[in-house]
Structure 1
Amino acid sequence: MPKHVWITRGLAAIAVGGLLAATACKPGDGTSGAGGELDGVTLTVAAKWTGTEQKNFEEVLDGFEKDTGATVNYEATGEDTGAYLGPKIEAGEPPDIAALPQPGLVREYAEQGALKPLQGEAATALESNYTGYWRDLGSVDGEAYGVLLKAAHKSIIWYRPSAFDAAGVTPPETWDELVDTTSRTLSNAGITPFAMCGASGWTLTDWFENAYLSHAGPENYDKLADHEIPWTDDTVVQTLTTLSEVWGEDDMMKGGQKGAVQTAFPTCVSEVYGQEEAAMVFEGDFVGSSAAEAGATVGEDAVAFPFPAVGDKAPVVVGGDIAVAMTERKGVQELMAYLASPQAQSTWAGLGGYLSANSGVQPDAYADEFTQDLSATIVEAGENVRYDLSDQVPSRFGATEGRGMWSILQDLLRGSTDPEGAAKALEKAASEA
């Protein structure tokens, strides 16, 4: 195995048993097809994907069309899925299926009566192919509506092996090692440790979520997401203080605090790969495509290690898109069953740029060992995995530029507030939302 690879710490071995299970074709797994029973049926699926993502998803849909005889049309929603779907729902003309980027939207639309519960083979496919947390993610008040169709792994730190070799450091396993050993040694060797993506506020919420999940644990993470504990809680203040060990030090990041908050994603990625002005950049598996655009080869000179443990366990934070049915037209539940199947998701896995939380997708469905190991951490994380917190809270608090979590964490990064002040501002914004 090469010197610099994805550090699994045993996860790949653990994954073998879980990922090889439940892969045989059986009733309800969405792999049997309808044998042309949907000839003449036309369905519409709406999602935010464009470019290569759209092309690959349309190839997945081709499999359903060939199996069933149905025609499936794709509609691109743009980045603001809610803004796209809102008028269509109000006009009574929603797409048959939509991929929602936030669990909060699943609840919002379910409470409006805009979603249709999973039934028949679709419900069986969800039950057969997903573990409890992933099933619950698309459920509202015990009713299953959605399937996590595409996952994003947000608990990795990407690095440049040549920079680590030059400083004589290795990937850390704990936060203290990251700060006191890896980063300090890099800095002392004249290599800037981090490129920060602070102008893109969502990247800062991902920093917080990883540190908080590891420090405070899954139970407190859930309580904070539901605002059952205040943002002024000691666990929040302590997490913000922990982040300040990196965020509060100019020599930790390219351009110091002022430059860090002015650098957007994916410019920060090019500062590590291509420009080679920093050694590390934190963000999800999707950094790989930006690194490749900067001239790096993923798995060789663009590699990653798990977000280090702040507390007892390393965090696994996941984002993604949840497919939901919005009409009761013929073929909709069959398509939902297909999208929830190992067959459909293995097809997408083989095309690249994709991660699945489906337990039936085998490791060899992915083209490389790096992606196989990332997928294993999602499937096998069990009770320690959690969905992106900022996507679970009201969007005006967790996902709006210039306000809420984004702007408050940017203030902490630029040094215009301290951890206690940031916690108070977060609680005020959360209460108002």
Structure 2
Amino acid sequence: MAEPQAACVRGTGLSRRALLRAGGLGSAAMALSGCSVLASTAGVGDNVRVGVAWSAAELEAFRAVLAGYRYGYELVPLGDDIASALGARTAGRPDVVAMPQPGTVSASIDDLAPLPDDVWQPAYDGIAGARDGRHFALPFKLAHSSVVWYRKRLFDEHDLRPPQTWSDWMELNQRIIDDPALSDAGIAPLALGCADSWLLAVSFENVLLRHFPATYDKLSEPSYDPDLWRRGDVEEALRMLAGMWVVPGAVSGGLDRALVLQYPDAVQEAFLYRRAAMVVAPDYAESVIRRFGAPEGEVDTFTFPAREGTSPPLAVAGDLLVVVKPARESAWDLLRYLAKPQAPMPWIRDTGGFIAANPETDDRYYSTTERRLAREVREQPIRFRLADQLGPVGGRDGLGRVLQQLVRALADGTPPATAAREAARKMVTIAEDAG
């Protein structure tokens, strides 16, 4: 998932929003021609165009990865419109796309070229599937999404312990709320970034997966009954979240303020401004935390709590590299470069918040926390994020919008059970309309 901030590829001041307003991939390529990163193309042909969803620090980190590539390339940042790159047939469409949504890859597989056998590893089999014995998507970056970041020193100083279960977590939140030393200092249990609805979706997916994995798996199927959204497990997961967020003092700044906070703001609320003890965010929040110099010893994580006595899968996301037909030789050359275990090293070393899909990537430059999270993703059962598998139903105008409306209803005084029931009803309608 890309950070929702404006970014420029070369320094022309072209923001992501301005780029998207330009409309279409042809316009995007034309608009970016003045700030693309170009290099010698001797022996390869035209520059290979690389479509990405990343922006801001993540985009700069990927530029550092590409700095070692020996031939020419152009970066085409597409933000939330990244799916449009797979079916496009304009002159400026990308050749290689870093796609964050496995569901979109599956739906667009006829537009993709099969991968050469020499880039595939058996370790990828559990991340990206095959069709007719051929692979079409190369795992590049993984994201551990069952992560709660917390202020370790604050926990230690106040004898707080990371929760193991949901009831533990509710009790922990109440302890923080009731502690005069913390409340007087303006510290709330949670930071919540509702303006970026995908962050709300991460919390919902984790509650559903870590408590009701069978229902999560049914919703992940390509053809599922939309009425599943009205199932008791879904409504209960929504009610659990609503019940946590609505507690007075639980969310830093209150729900009204949370509705205008974006993802980086929520992370900074905990680790820069220190107004929250915890924040739910994927492993790549590390790159945000690093920017303002929070000491590693003051930062730690715990795994999103699960139903007591169970060990359900972890939620993960990932960026999969695909080559759009008709494939040019330069596209395959770049893909092979990115497939090398050392390719992501600049991102891991200098920016952080990166888990390499390639198991042969040297982990010496991971932080202690990121190394542990990478090991969890490799060693424990995983499921891809539900929103990334549902297409528009899981996007900002589907699940994301419904969760924002749930928070708004809570802020306006709607009881959690009522808000959860209404959110489930809306999801049924959205899923039915999507066909």
User: Is residue 58–residue 74 contact of structure 1 (8 Å, CA) maintained in 2?
Assistant: no
What does residue range 11-410 of structure 1 map to in structure 2 within 5 Å? 39-42=43-46, 43-65=48-70, 71-82=71-82, 85=85, 89-91=88-90, 94-110=93-109, 113-121=110-118, 125-128=119-122, 130-136=123-129, 139=130, 143-180=134-171, 182-190=172-180, 191=182, 192-217=188-213, 219-226=214-221, 228-229=224-225, 230-297=228-295, 299-310=296-307, 312-313=310-311, 315-326=313-324, 327-346=326-345, 348-353=347-352, 354-364=354-364, 366-381=365-380, 384-395=381-392, 397-400=393-396, 403-410=397-404
* Partner amino acid, structure 2, of 1:75: L
User: Structure 1 residue aligned with 2:407, among 405, 410, 413?
Assistant: 413
Q: Describe the shift of the 1:142–1:390 C-alpha distance in structure 2 as closer, same or farther (beyond 3 A).
A: farther
* Partner amino acid, structure 2, of 1:361: T
User: Is residue 151–residue 271 contact of structure 2 (8 Å, CA) maintained in 1?
Assistant: yes
Gaps of 5+ in 1: 1-37, 66-70
Distance 1:248 1:235 in 2: 20
The worse-fitting range, judged by mean Cα deviation, of 56-65 and 190-199 is: 56-65
Deviation of 1:301 (Å): 2.0
Distance 2:107 2:339 in 1: 22
Q: Percent identity?
A: 29
Distance 2:73 2:333 in 1: 15
Deviation of 1:375 (Å): 1.0
* Partner amino acid, structure 1, of 2:127: W
Q: Describe the shift of the 1:165–1:222 C-alpha distance in structure 2 as closer, same or farther (beyond 3 A).
A: same
Gaps of 5+ in 2: 1-41, 183-187
* Partner amino acid, structure 2, of 1:133: G
* TM-score where L is the length of structure 1: 0.78
* Partner amino acid, structure 2, of 1:419: A
SS of alignment partner, residue 343 of structure 1: coil
User: Is residue 325–residue 332 contact of structure 1 (8 Å, CA) maintained in 2?
Assistant: yes
* Partner amino acid, structure 2, of 1:281: V
SS of alignment partner, residue 90 of structure 1: coil
User: Is residue 152–residue 286 contact of structure 1 (8 Å, CA) maintained in 2?
Assistant: yes
Q: Describe the shift of the 1:432–1:117 C-alpha distance in structure 2 as closer, same or farther (beyond 3 A).
A: same
Distance 1:94 1:274 in 2: 39
User: Is residue 44–residue 329 contact of structure 2 (8 Å, CA) maintained in 1?
Assistant: no
SS of alignment partner, residue 279 of structure 1: strand
Q: Describe the shift of the 1:314–1:422 C-alpha distance in structure 2 as closer, same or farther (beyond 3 A).
A: same
SS of alignment partner, residue 332 of structure 2: helix
User: Is residue 83–residue 104 contact of structure 2 (8 Å, CA) maintained in 1?
Assistant: no
Structure with bigger RCO (C-alpha 8 Å, 6+ apart): 1
Q: Describe the shift of the 1:177–1:54 C-alpha distance in structure 2 as closer, same or farther (beyond 3 A).
A: same
Deviation of 1:92 (Å): 5.6
* Partner amino acid, structure 2, of 1:425: K
SS of alignment partner, residue 239 of structure 1: helix
User: Is residue 204–residue 409 contact of structure 1 (8 Å, CA) maintained in 2?
Assistant: yes
Distance 1:90 1:329 in 2: 14
Distance 1:140 1:425 in 2: 34
Q: Describe the shift of the 1:241–1:49 C-alpha distance in structure 2 as closer, same or farther (beyond 3 A).
A: closer
Instruction: Give the CA RMSD over aligned residues.
Output: 2.7
The worse-fitting range, judged by mean Cα deviation, of 286-295 and 264-273 is: 286-295
* Partner amino acid, structure 2, of 1:285: D
